[in-house]
Amino acid sequence: MRTGLFGLRSSAVVAAVSVVGGIGALGGVEAGEARAVNPSFSNEFSRESLDSLKSEVRDLFYHGWTNYMDIAFPEDELMPLSCSGQSADLDDPMNMGLNDVLGGYSVTLVDSLDMFAIMGDDDLFVQYVADVEKYVSFNVSSTVQVFETTIRGMGGLLSAHLYATIPRLGHRINESEYNGHLLGLAYDLGERLLPAFDTVSGIPHPRVHLQEGVVPLPGQSKLITETCTSGAGSMLLEFSLLSRLTGDPRFEKAARRAFFQLWARRASTNLVGITIDAVSGNWQSVITGVGAGVDSFYEYALKYYVLFGDKSFFEVFETAYEALKKYSFDGWMFHNVNFSTGIYITSWIDALGAFFPGLQVLAGDLTSAIKNHLVYYKLWNTYGGIPERWSTGIHDAIDSVVLEWYPLRPEFIESNYYLYQATKDPFYLQVGASTLRDLQRINKVACGVAGTQDVRTGELSDRMESFFLSETVKYLYVLFDEENILNKEFSNYVYSTEAHPLWYDESVLEYSSVERFPELASKIADNLEVLEIPRYELDLFTTHDESYNDDEDCSIRPSVMFQRIRDIWQNRKREQLASYKIRPVKPEPQCTVWDTTNSGPFLQSSIASWNGFYTLDNFYDYTKPDWITTNHPDRPDAIELVPEFHTNFVDSQSTCRAAVSSQVEILFAVPSGEASKTPYSVGYNHGHPSLKGQHLVVALDLYGKRVRLERKENFVGPNSTFVITAVDDIDVKDVLLVHNLDLSGNDARLIQMVNNTVLFQGFRIENILIDF
């Protein structure tokens, strides 16, 4: 079946693509084996159906986790196709794709630890916290990337430590069973990473040997000093929290210095580059954007402010975001530009940029977040994942893939979670359910969950990176777990860039600081005395002022922020969203659909009912790769076209629908693939050359819908009648006259009928897009 951009039906006239065979056996496991899943699931999103989806996410987590522990532990990472484990590649020190993250400290265990608390599996949480004390050590002969080890190792330890100590989080471990060893390990790791920051520029070296400090890689005579902006400037949350919990100021001071040294080198555009030399402090690349190399620099500028209340970081974020909107954002996506001039310099975007809509939500720019997220949603819809790089300038589903792998990254699912929390629009639950289905269909194998090596062919990779369990699955779980404390917590908590929840407030200082653990406190105090370093006075660090005027900014507390954005969305939608014409829900919907907030801000999907929802289909006209339609015929043609979802949330006959204008415009397909727009009113004659003076008669609310047309007669001639046979993949009765098309002249020979389907120049006409 021909599909439009990223799996959605297109209005352009296009050729069918031949289907090839499946991918066959992978690593000895048949492609469908251990991945079979019931394609049907509830689209009502009641508490029962959300609980069912949450249980499926839990099962997916434990499928990956159990295989890791049974097959790979204590290695760093599971290899799900070969059913084995792996750590650093000691034979090839230059294999930095592995060695940067696999340090020989059971990284999957450490990175996944807080998931057991988040899922409420307290006995297992206690068990694996104890296993960390038993098995994990950073006194290993490994050269690791400072950034990856910080966010996976230190972040995982600190988050689990907070869960193990703060009573209100509900997972506190009895002091007789927990001696603060997670905090002690984080401190030990911090000391091993600190030598990387000993540079004249203040910008850290990218890598450090965990035993020897900053030394060249084996077999190399020189240090590799080029680092990326996100890698150098995004240790802020973990290092600062470590300082405040232990009283050792070195970590936060080093991380803050690195961040501001990078910001001080920004161009006159207020943009920073993506790579820099740590020794000289000179930029190494002119490219910038919001994806790989720079993503978490912006993320931590905002989140540091949220967590610790330092407005200087919010000022950095605000200035940088204004520059990105000015130079990089086209209204839908952020492009890569020259950071000095702001001129576009590449045509591709990358998978890591999919996190940015979530950050836009946190910053309060919901309108831009919705549109930016749709770009990546449509990518997922086409490939069953997000290719690492994808070109916006090549209009072919295969050739547009610049870097072909999808290693189970979480960024798109992360943004989807943020958008649901802010809007409570069921569209985002539908996206979450559909991405879960794809992970089950495509990536789940007998020995775990495998990344996609090539989205063009469906080939899988023999890796399950630790972030799949610590981030990807986590954001799906909390999306469906309405009652999780992370969705109700009234505090300044944030998710780290590795999705580790972090808190800093009075209860953190009371229950989680080193003072609660005398033996560890004495050890750190002795260390500071030897180093002649004054101890941080924890009571000097202020938390958020309860009298702070929340109206000044919506990023101060996530729960407050989400509620405030929901209020704006519900009560002032018309003003807030007028710039791109999202149609608001009627103030008092008259239908009954389950309401997740009990206050009724979203009883149906304003996103999927928005006429601009289909805009991207007009830019690009793609078919899905053959392997998806061949190997997964049960996969819906498009996420929002699942009939049950339409019935409950986007049904055109529902009183929950958005208001409909009597004015419509028809986007009519022409052979070249280009399109022209002509406004029509019901019964209005217009001399559009493609319609030869005939008129459009609308007998159905077609606002924001995709419509499939078929010609009623089995002959070609003047005044042939076309009828609507499906609306958004939902079949309708054959009684709806769309228009009479005069096929006289040269147009007549271009139209033919095959099996009651309209063909134009030999190509099947799937639909015409009806839009405002």
Active site residues: 148, 295, 388, 411
Positive or negative, the CA dihedral 656, 658, 662, 663 is negative
d(CA 642, CA 645): 5
The type of residue at 123 is: D
Tokens coding 622: 């793609």
Phi, psi of 15 (to 5 degrees): -90, 150
d(CA 391, CA 399): 8
* 758 close to 765: Cβ distance less than 8 angstroms: yes
Beta bridge mates, 705: 770
The CA-based diameter of the chain, rounded to the nearest angstrom, is 95
Tally of CB atoms within 10 A around 330: 10
Per-residue burial over 29-61, b = 16 or more CB atoms within 10 Å of its CB, e = otherwise: bebeeebebeeebebbbeeebbeebbebbbebb
* 373 close to 419: Cβ distance less than 8 angstroms: yes
Phi, psi of 761 (to 5 degrees): 55, 35
d(CA 297, CA 317): 9
Tokens coding 133: 């004390």
Dihedral (C-alpha) 588, 594, 598, 602: value to the nearest 10 degrees?
Answer: -50
The type of residue at 297 is: F
Alpha helices in 194-332 (DSSP H): 229-233, 236-246, 250-264, 295-308, 311-327
Do the annotations mark residue 497 as ligand-binding?
A: yes
SS (H, E, C) 636-663: CCCHHHCHHHHHHHHCCCCCCCCCCCCE
Q: For tokens 């990105």, what's the residue?
A: 324
d(CA 595, CA 586): 15
Tally of CB atoms within 10 A around 297: 26
Which of 264, 259, 257 is CA-nearest to residue 282?
Answer: 264
Tokens coding 663: 């004015």
The type of residue at 460 is: L
SS (H, E, C) 447-496: CEECCEEECCCCEECCCECHHHHHHHHHHHHHHHCCCCHHHCCCCCCEEC
Enumerate helices (H) and strands (E) in the chain, giving the number of each. Answer: 25, 29
The type of residue at 226 is: E
Q: For tokens 């609308």, what's the residue?
A: 698
Phi, psi of 296 (to 5 degrees): -75, -10
Q: Is 465 exposed, middle or buried (0-12, 13-18, 19+ CB in 10 A)?
A: buried
Task: With H, G, I as helix, E, B as strand and everything else as coil, classify residue 612.
Answer: helix
Task: With H, G, I as helix, E, B as strand and everything else as coil, classify residue 279.
Answer: coil
Angle at 771 between CA 769 and CA 772, to 5 degrees: 165
d(CA 737, CA 743): 17
Q: For tokens 């009954």, what's the residue?
A: 592
* 327 close to 338: Cβ distance less than 8 angstroms: no
Q: What H or E segment, with its residue span, contains residue 737?
A: strand 737-741
Alpha helices in 291-342 (DSSP H): 295-308, 311-327
* 299 close to 234: Cβ distance less than 8 angstroms: yes
Pairing status of strand 337-338 against strand 287-288: antiparallel
Q: Which residues are annotated as a binding site for Ca(2+)?
A: 497
Residues making up the annotated binding site are: 497
